[in-house]
Structure 1
Amino acid sequence: MDITLNGESRTLPGPCTVAELLAQEHIAGHRVAVEVNGEVVTEAQCASRALAPGDEVEVIHALGGP
């Protein structure tokens, strides 16, 4: 299945959720914000939000501040 992740084409081996994608990218457990096709996916939704061919996923790392 082909998706776009942060502007780069990616081929996934099969059906995948947002949580599984984050695990594959070694960013599960990090503080990130995720959008799929311009819609925010909350942390609670990641395990159940399935990705579809052609989805555009943006993952933004949260930065700490003072």
Structure 2
Amino acid sequence: MRLIINGKTIERPGPCSLEALLRELKLMADRVATVVNDDVVPSKLRAAHQVQEGDRIEILTFAGGG
């Protein structure tokens, strides 16, 4: 399956949930915001949201500072 994540094309085997994809990428789900095909996917819906071939996924991380 081909996905575009933050502008980079990746290949991965078969479908999965957005939550599983974040785990696979070793990202802390509680510290990112996710957008799939220009639609925000709230954290509480990531387990149910299945990524599809060709999805454009943006994963935004938060940085603290002052």
TM-score (normalizing by structure 2): 0.91
* Identity of matched residues, %: 33
Runs of 4+ in structure 1 displaced over 3 angstroms? Answer: none
Q: Which residue does the alignment assign to 1:3?
A: 3
Q: Which residue does the alignment assign to 1:59?
A: 59
Q: Note the residue ranges of structure 1 that are not aligned, 5 or more in a row.
A: none
Q: What is the Cα deviation at residue 12 of structure 1?
A: 1.3
Q: How does 1:8-47 map to 2 (within 5 A)?
A: 8-47=8-47
Q: Note the residue ranges of structure 2 that are not aligned, 5 or more in a row.
A: none
AA at the equivalent of 1:11: E
CA-based RMSD: 1.2
Q: What is the Cα deviation at residue 63 of structure 1?
A: 1.5
Count of equivalent residues:
66
